[in-house]
Amino acid sequence: MRADGSVKLRNIYMIITFTAYIIMVLLENLAACFGDFPKVEKNSSVMFSVIHNTVLAKMFLLLYHKKSIRKLNSEMALLGADMEDDVTMNKQYKKVKYGLLLYVVSVYLSLLAYGVDSLSKCVTEGTPFYTVVTYYPSYNSTTDVASALRVFFYMTWLYMMLPMMAADCLPIVHLIIMAYKFITLCNHFKNISKDFTRNKTNMRKESAVLKLKFGCMQGILMHRKLILLIKEVNRVFGIIMSLQVCESSAVAVLLLLRLAISPRQNLTDAIMTYTFVSSLFILLALNLWNAGEITYQASLLSFEIYSCGWHLCNMFPQHQRDIKYLVLISSAQAQKSLILKAFAIQELSYATFVSVARLTYSIFAVFYK
């Protein structure tokens, strides 16, 4: 009974929050298409409609893949769990923690700067309190209802950033974990090589060879499962990561253009714009760098497999031949480049981050001139 009650409450909560968010996004779209606003507010309405429509699409994609994500999480947690060591897991935890914390802090600094900047203009210049630009209330409306709605939309924006950032961060966490799965696998092949070198003098040589053979088979099986999991990660989160790349680049251009048309900015306005640009590029970097890290760590695996110590088993030709075939096949498989792609076209990698950053600035320069 308690479980059923909690499920009902959760469903009611989701319906209420999504309804509020959809209404706000709809009003933003109407403002961007039909609203009569000053230049800065009009540009803000276009920018926010692009961002929030994209984020809304990502949130619905996550809900659509909810069962697949649960299954994926379970398989990722179990895969290689007996091979993981505390040092590697601590590094993984710190990378997830500090990377996402940097993104969250940059986003909320930007949102708070938006509120402070709008409030200061409202007090000093008598302009309406505007953060999220919506079609209703109209720009010139100064009634108490209009003011209350503007404050409500701002508070809704602050709250809805939590599930929005969760939608952004979930693929990043999976990318980091998958990269560290490859690191764990590389460490496994290093460890079985060290164990074989140590064991062949301290125990029966045949037992040491059999232990090496078993370790190789464990690692090869994990590698095969890792490749399948990477395909599943790309299937579930591929569109979301692709949308994040497009969103970060497009909105960064709009923000830079806002800088161009408003060269004289006060401190809060400058903080607002620069923190927003920073949060977008941090999000872009977290996606592309961690996707590139998977490609890099996977490229190291072939050498570690080949260096596992199979060539030292010459005292048992039959076992050496079996291990050699396993090593050759798995090394050849590991040499195939493992690259995640946006929309199955653009590689998600370190180089892509540099390319997108350059392209963003080039587009900005063209529009500015």
List the chain domain ranges: 2-368
Read off φ and ψ for residue 188, nearest 5 degrees.
-60, -45
Looking at the predicted structure, is the pLDDT value of residue 2 above 60? no
Q: Kindly report, residue by residue over 96-153, the tens digit of the pLDDT.
A: 999 999 999 998 988 888 888 888 888 888 888 888 888 888 877 888 888 888 888 8
SS3 assignment, position 341: strand
344 in the Ramachandran plot: left (φ > 0), alpha (ψ -120 to 50) or beta? Answer: left
Q: What is the pLDDT of residue 314?
A: 67
CA distances in angstroms from 139 to 35, 45, 237, 289, listed in the order given: 9, 12, 39, 41
Q: Kindly report, residue by residue over 185-232, the tens digit of the pLDDT.
A: 999 998 888 887 776 665 577 787 788 888 888 988 999 999 999 999
Average pLDDT over all residues of the chain? 84
Residue 139 in contact with residue 40, Cβ under 8 Å?
no
Mean pLDDT is lowest, of 116-125, 137-146, 155-164, 357-366, for: 357-366
State the residue for tokens 């933003």: 28
Could you tell me the end-to-end alpha-carbon distance of the chain, in angstroms, rounded to an integer? 65
